[in-house]
Amino acid sequence: SLHDALPILLALAALASGSVLAHSFANTGIGFTAGFLHPPSGLDHLLAMVSVGIWGAELGPPAIWLLPIAFPVIMAIGGALGVIGAPLPEGELLIGLSVVVLGSLVAWARQVPVGAAFIIVGVFALAHGHAHGVELPRSADAVAFTVGFVLSTGLLHLCGILIGLLNRWPNGLVAIRFGGVLIAMAGCYLVYGDVVV
């Protein structure tokens, strides 16, 4: 059914799209709309955000709501650090690794304590936010962009949670595992591109 195939279709669509690593804002009006539209336009961000939602659903309460709330909040903090110029060594590598790790956690339905899940998600959120903060042009309305970006990220988490709820059915569980593998493979491609290029 379509519900069972949704994670696979999402992963395939993401793999088929061009790699848009964090962060091109050229020739766009930088405000709420640009912030809102940016997360789904980057393969790295799209896959990581959806994976956070799926993994949270796999972990169950309280992670199902804690991780999708924590990620945008910590991401906004990372963005602020990027805007003020605080360094984050290997930030792009961390972003690629976020897709590998989160995809793998989804594929294995890896159960970890909530505190450990919070730390994993928090580190990756900081990297995603920092990259966008560093790249944000000085002329941008940083607050409006951040509000749009955080809202859009939250909606991607919600999509992930809805996909993650398919694990209640055997076919849905298989589709989620397969989708997690595809996400992790896409992350390997991103890491490879960051290391080689």
Q: Per residue in 136-175, pLDDT tens? A: 877 678 888 888 989 999 999 999 999 999 988 889 999 9
State which of 2-6, 22-26, 55-59, 137-141 shows the largest mean pLDDT.
55-59
HSE-CB for 109 with a 13 A CA cutoff: 16
The stretches of the chain forming alpha helices (DSSP H) are 2-16, 32-37, 43-59, 63-83, 91-108, 114-135, 142-164, 170-196
Given this model, what pLDDT does residue 197 score? 57
pLDDT digits (tens, 9 = 90+) for 91-116: 899 999 999 999 999 999 888 999 99
pLDDT digits (tens, 9 = 90+) for 124-137: 999 999 998 888 87
Q: Give 55: exposed, middle or buried? Use CB within 10 Å, 0-12, 13-18, 19+.
A: buried
Q: Is it the case that residue 59 has pLDDT exceeding 70?
A: yes
Q: Is it the case that residue 1 has pLDDT exceeding 70?
A: no
Given this model, what pLDDT does residue 29 score? 52
Distance CA 134, CA 21 (A): 13
Q: How confident is the model at residue 26 (pLDDT cuts 50, 70, 90)?
A: very low
Q: Can you give the length of the chain in residues?
A: 197
Q: Which residue has the tokens 């994976």?
A: 51
SS3 192: helix
The total of other beta-carbon atoms located within 10 Å of residue 93's CB is: 14
Q: Is it the case that residue 27 has pLDDT exceeding 60?
A: no
Rounded to the nearest 5 degrees, what angle is found at the Cα of 191, between the Cα atoms of 22 and 57?
Answer: 75
Distance CA 145, CA 127 (A): 17
Distance CA 6, CA 73 (A): 28
Rounded to the nearest 5 degrees, what angle is found at the Cα of 183, between the Cα atoms of 12 and 2?
Answer: 45
* pTM of structure: 0.82
